[in-house]
Amino acid sequence: MRSRFSLFLAPAAAIQALLFAAPLIVVAGYSLLSRGAYGGVERPWTFENYARLLDPLYGAILWRSFVMAAAATALCVLLGFPLALFISRSGRRKNLYLQLVILPFWTSFLIRTYAWIFLLRDSGLFNSALLALGVIQEPLPLLYNSSAVLLGLVYGYLPFMVLPLYATLEKLDPALIEASADLGARPWRTLIRVILPLCRPGILAGAMLVFIPCLGAYLTPDLMGGGKTILIGNVVQNQFTTARDWPFGSALSLALMALAIVPLMLGVRRRGEALL
């Protein structure tokens, strides 16, 4: 009786095995081979690709990616928490405000990134406006630097932080907040000593949803960093396309996967909340 539900699961299991697990196994195999003369892979088997990960050049890129992802995550918590708090306290308008966060959550990441290119480039809206007002004589270099990449990541992933934060705040027992106020705590103190600690699961869930894609970000650094702020995602892409060093690209992507999975394993029990 029980086993018959397998038929419902079989197609998804087959697709997961074939299009998720098998590709990772192929990549793991490639990461242990050598680069072929025409860009493919060849024997002999080697650990050389992993040894190259320790090269200071790639170490620096890995570190930069980590710092960038951590900074974006921290900014998303700082900017997202008050917004989630506001939405959770806005009574009948709650749904409307929630939609305003959900909409960018699902809308084209590419277009949302492009919008900032339009605003920030030399002949973009900000520079044009400032030039017209006579505030500046030369356009400011707002785009194609690491601050622009950070801005792009925060803008892109802020909704991913607000939604899980909102979900936890929503479930918060108001009696606890009232009790804190009744006992004489000022709003700020209630926020820091009562609300924030109770929101830990939401903060962790949101942090995961922001940190992991930021760590592997490819599109934002490429478009908004203009090739100057190279992150690990860009190196992976480059190895598989222009550089055609698939074995090294494979080793790099497995390293990236491992870095992304560590925080994931820490938070995996909270996945119910993480997923909307």
Partner 1 sequence: MKRALPAYAAIAFAFLHLPLLVLAVFSVNSSRFTQWDGFSLRWYRAALADGNLLEAAANSLAIAIASTLLATVVGTLAAYGLHKRHVPWLSGSLYLSLVSPEIVTGVALLAFFQWAFRYLGAQLGLHTVILAHTAFSISYVVIVVLARLRSLDPSLEEAALDLGATEWRTFRRVVLPQLSPGIAAAALLAFTISFDDYVITSLVAGVDSETLPMVMYSAARRGASPVLNAISTVVVVALGGLILISERLRAA
Footprint of partner 1 on residues 16-75 (CB under 8 A)? 16, 19-24, 26-27, 30
Residues 89-118 that bind partner 1 (CB under 8 A): 89, 97, 99-104, 106-118
Secondary structure element (H or E) that encloses residue 8, with its range: helix 6-16
CB 249 within 8 Å of CB 240 = yes
Binding test (CB under 8 A) with partner 1, winner from 46, 124, 145, 146: 124
Residue 121 falls in which region: left (phi positive, over 0), alpha (psi -120 to 50) or beta:
beta
Shortest separation between residue 51's beta carbon and partner 1, angstroms = 20
Q: Which stretch binds partner 1 (CB under 8 A): 55-63, 174-182, 197-205, 230-238?
A: 230-238
- ∠ CA(207), CA(59), CA(221), 5° rounding? 55
Shortest separation between residue 176's beta carbon and partner 1, angstroms = 17
Shortest separation between residue 162's beta carbon and partner 1, angstroms = 9
Residues 164-193 that bind partner 1 (CB under 8 A): 187-188, 191
Secondary structure element (H or E) that encloses residue 11, with its range: helix 6-16
Considering CB under 8 A, how many residues would be counted as binding partner 1? 90
Binding test (CB under 8 A) with partner 1, winner from 67, 125, 196, 266: 125
Residues 196-225 that bind partner 1 (CB under 8 A): 208-209, 212-213, 215-216, 218-219, 222-223
Binding test (CB under 8 A) with partner 1, winner from 68, 77, 167, 256: 256
The candidate with the shortest Cα–Cα distance to 95, out of 103, 87, 86, is: 87
How many contiguous H segments (helices) and E segments (strands) does the chain have? 16, 2
| Exposure of 80 in the CB half-sphere (CA atoms within 13 A) | 34
